Each structure stands twice: as C-alpha cells, then as structure tokens.
Amino acid sequence: MATEEQTSYNAILSIAGFYPRVRGGQKLTISNRTVSKLAFVLNKYGSPTGDVTFEIIQVASPFATLASKVWGSAASLQTEGNEQWEEVEFGTPVAINEEVRAVVYYPDSLSNFRVRQHYQNTDVKASEQQTFFGSSWTDSPTADCAYKYTYTTKAIGGGGGVGGVGGVPSPTGTGILSFPRGETILKEERRVSTLTPEMPMSDIEAIVYQWLTRKNIEFQFQTSLMGGFYQLGGTVVDFLIPSRNLAWRVQGEYFHSGVTKEGSDLIQREMLTELGWTVVDLFSNDIIDKTDETLTKALQGIEMLR
C-alpha cells in the first residue's frame, strides 16, 4: 500500500448546513489507482451531532459518488485546538483514473455548531486545489486541503471511457465488471433534489442515498455496467451494494411506465441476474411512504409487493 498526501495546514474551513457549506476537501486527479482509505485533519466547534461522511466524488458529469463512508458522529470529533487526522477505510476499494473531489460531508444545521477541516492557505501541490460546496462548487487554486489517501496501483477493472476507468467486482467472484466513468446520465422528468443539489439525482434517489449513508452501508451510485443503458448494450444501476450482491433500481412511476420501458427493464434484470447480482426494484411510493420498511427489506433482497 502507498499513500498520497498533503499534510500542511494553517487555516480552518468550517462545514455545516447553516452556512450553507456542506462539503469541503481537495480537488485532484487520481491516475490508475485503487483507493482504500481516506483521511482529513478535523475537529469540532461547539457540540455538533449527526454523521460525518467521507466521499470521493467525480468531477465530470454527472458528479457520481465513487466512494462513500460514514466516519461517525460529529460529536466524536476532538475539540477546538485538538485537531487530529481522522480516517475511513472503504469497504470496497474503488479504482479511479480521473479528476475527483475528495471531501468531508456534513449537512447538519444545528445552532452554530460545525465541523472544522484544516487546510493550507498557500499553494502546496501543483495542479491540485482546495474545494468546497455551498450552493455550487468553489475551487481555491491558492490553497490545499490537508488529506491522505491510501492506494494500490493495481486497478480494478479496465478499458476506456470518458473521464477514465472505474470498476466494481463481480459478486460471483468470476471476474471484474469494467465500466466507463463520466457518462452523461439523462432521464425524462428528472428533477434535481434539494437534498443533494450538486448531484443530478431525483428526490426519490436522494432519500435512498441518504438512508444508506446513515446506515453506514457501502454503495456505489449510478454505476454503468456493460456499456451504459441497454440501448448501448448495458445498463446503469442506481445503487450497487457489492458486499451484499445487490443491485437496486429506483423506479419512478412515470419514467418506468410503458411497454417499451418495462420490456427493457426486464431484459436488464435478466442481464444483471446472469452476472450474479440480486436485483431489487424500489418504487417511488414505497420509498416515500414506507422508507425504512422498504429499504430494510431491500437489503435482504426482498421487494415490496405491488
């Protein structure tokens, strides 16, 4: 295992929903590396609560989350003046070959409490820069976040693709499913969620995304398999949970209605099943009305009765 790092810091970035500034970290290019750990220098101000999540987010459209892991409660961070390195280890190491944002995510808006991330207010690493998200992404080319990530150079997956290569292990253990990163994902009637405004996901997908994050379950969002949508010879899975061999598809009543779409959904299900995935379709009404019941069953590979 090797480590890439920027360890200097002399300034503080506050992260909390009330700013609003919910993400902060480093914008950098990771070339042909499989990342297993991510660390930042953090402490807390006041008495924040709620989950602190470490993420690696794709810069290219559609801003897909390549890796996500809940570090723990903000209440467990060290107090002001006692900052220290905090680290997560991703359950599934992720192969990356593109420009990304490695960030801390803390959306809570409790009083004036916040998570503090430490950075250097001078340019330390060429071609890298501090980044943070409020109502939009802001990059600071004259500053660098303090970070570390652990990696190997034996990447998972292979092949080409827009913005680099990524991959996910086949759940059957028979090989690696390669898929291109950076494919534009377009869906009719897609509405950008107010919960995660920087990502082009529907409100229903945002509910599932945040539920999995709160449960500290490793997942990959909108993963392209076998070339993308079925029209291209493959499919895009809304949520992959490799540790459980689960492929979750969020089914909006409007977009997934009609003979043609239902037919392609069936073919996609058969293709995924042949690769060893357990496919679970999640319907919008169930997610809204019975979130915990629906997603708890889905973790067991069980769909709600229609």
Domain parsing of the chain, residue ranges: 2-152, 185-299
Q: Look at residue 182 in the predicted model and tell me its pLDDT.
A: 31
Class level of CATH domain 185-299: alpha beta
CA 286 to chain centre: 23
78 pLDDT band (50/70/90 cuts)?
A: very high
Q: What is the mean pLDDT of the chain?
A: 79
**Rounded percentage of the chain residues whose pLDDT exceeds 70:** 75
pLDDT of 73 strictly over 90 = yes
Token code pair at residue 296? 């708890």
Neighbour-count burial for 142-162, b at 16+ CB within 10 Å, e otherwise: ebbbbbbbbbeeebbbeeebe
Read off the pTM.
0.56
Residues 299, 306: Cα–Cα separation, whole Å: 18
The first and second tokens of residue 184, run together, are 């534009």
Q: CB of 106 within 8 A of CB of 174?
A: no
Instruction: Choose among 114, 132, 152, 139: nearest CA to 55.
Output: 132
Q: In the structure, what pLDDT confidence band is assigned to residue 57 with cuts at 50, 70 and 90? A: very high
Q: Of 12-21, 91-100, 265-274, where does mean pLDDT reach its minimum?
A: 265-274
Greatest Cα pair distance, the chain, in angstroms, is 61
User: What pLDDT score does 216 carry?
Assistant: 85
259's CB contacts (< 8 A; 6+ apart) are none
What is the predicted pLDDT for the residue at 253?
Answer: 56
Give residue-wise pLDDT tens across range 198-247.
Answer: 445 777 888 898 899 888 888 888 776 654 443 444 577 889 898 898 99
Q: Is the pLDDT of residue 172 over 80?
A: no
The pLDDT assigned to 180 comes to 33
The CATH number given to 2-152 is 2.60.120
